[in-house]
Amino acid sequence: MAMTYQPNWTNARVLQRAFKCLTFVEQYTKPNRVEWISVQEIYKHFGNTSRPLGLYLKELLLEPADPYYNPLTGVCKKYRRNNEGYKFLRAQLGDPAYEPSAAVLEQIATGDFEYQEKSDRLYTAAQYIPKRYRGRILANHGYRYHYDIEAAAPTVLLQSALKQNPKLDLLHLDYYINNRTEIRQRIAHACEISIEQTKTVINAVLHGGIISRRNDNRTFMDLNYNYDAVIKLNNNPDMINLKKDISLMWKSLKDQFPIRYSERCGKQVRARTSPREKGAMYRSIEKEIGEVIMKLLKKEKARALWIHDGWCCDKVVDPVVIQLKVKQHTGYAIKLDWSIYED
């Protein structure tokens, strides 16, 4: 870094500001992913970046990815996490004794979380506790048991498609569901991208995204505008097979969506199902399954924090019982991965 300014890491004000910035970056950015961040958000979390501390922390934690912005249209500058700076700051701060607000701690203690529903998903403040603290904080309040639905989106969407067309043959998608680590590693190695980027790309394609070199393409941003990676992904046999199966899956589900028309070459043709509609279908299924599980957890008198397609709770609930209940009430066959938090 060109700046000669060096923070005093023993100063309480410096530590407080640095920790606030680190928490923001942990919550709102991911490694190797480009994000729009407004000037207001920068000022809110980093403080005045015309002053040495604010500028130092911004340059340490964020790398400019696209400097273009337009205040009239609301287009913000784009940034990605500076991984080396992020690691450095974590090392400087050690492991500060982070605690959520008193209101969030009370909800954790009682298990009565205040959820807000948005687009068929439940959101609550405790979900936004930074991951490196969340496990410890929840475990300290008894939430030691962590459950996740394995490959939730492709699993339930494939089953939905098979309900519409039992003869559908989607061997590649089915193989991916049961061998995700193998396929992701193979694609990552062949296309010279990270495992996390590979996972992000496959999830994007699953929900209707395309792998393109357009500057406004979200997947291209997630690949850090890597032209070679786009070419390799579009020519990769595993990705080609997955895309074919995913396309066939959505074709079999076409009649589950409202019919819309668009004009093409002077003719009215049925419009394609949008990624927004595809995402909404998955979230509605996720909600249906979640309601069954949450009802069962309540019956078992388990305090539980729901996190979209998983949860943390304070007692063991037999995964087989949960899977059977979900199958009985929704028709979907899910698999659960669960673990016990160890400090």
pLDDT tens sequence across 30-58: 777 888 888 888 888 898 888 899 999 99
Residues 127 and 237 in one domain: no
Residues 30 and 17 in one domain: yes
The residue-averaged pLDDT of 57-71 equals: 86
What is the model's pTM? 0.78
CATH number at residue 309: 3.30.70
Residues 81 and 120 in one domain: no
Residues 65 and 145 in one domain: no
The residue-averaged pLDDT of 198-221 equals: 90
Does 64 map to a domain?
A: yes
What's the total number of domains in the chain?
3
The residue-averaged pLDDT of 85-105 equals: 82
Predicted confidence (pLDDT) at residue 165 exceeds the cutoff of 90:
yes
pLDDT at 96: 60
The residue-averaged pLDDT of 277-298 equals: 96
pLDDT at 221: 80
Q: What separation in angstroms does the CA of 332 have from each of 117, 173, 180, 208?
A: 23, 17, 20, 22
Residues 198 and 289 in one domain: no
Conformation bin of residue 301: beta by default, left when phi > 0, alpha when psi is -120 to 50: left
Domain final residue pick, 54, 71, 93: 93
Count the neighbouring beta carbons within 10 Å of the beta carbon of residue 76. Answer: 18
Residues 315 and 255 in one domain: no
Count the neighbouring beta carbons within 10 Å of the beta carbon of residue 134. Answer: 20
pLDDT at 3: 54
The residue-averaged pLDDT of 12-16 equals: 82
The residue-averaged pLDDT of 313-327 equals: 96
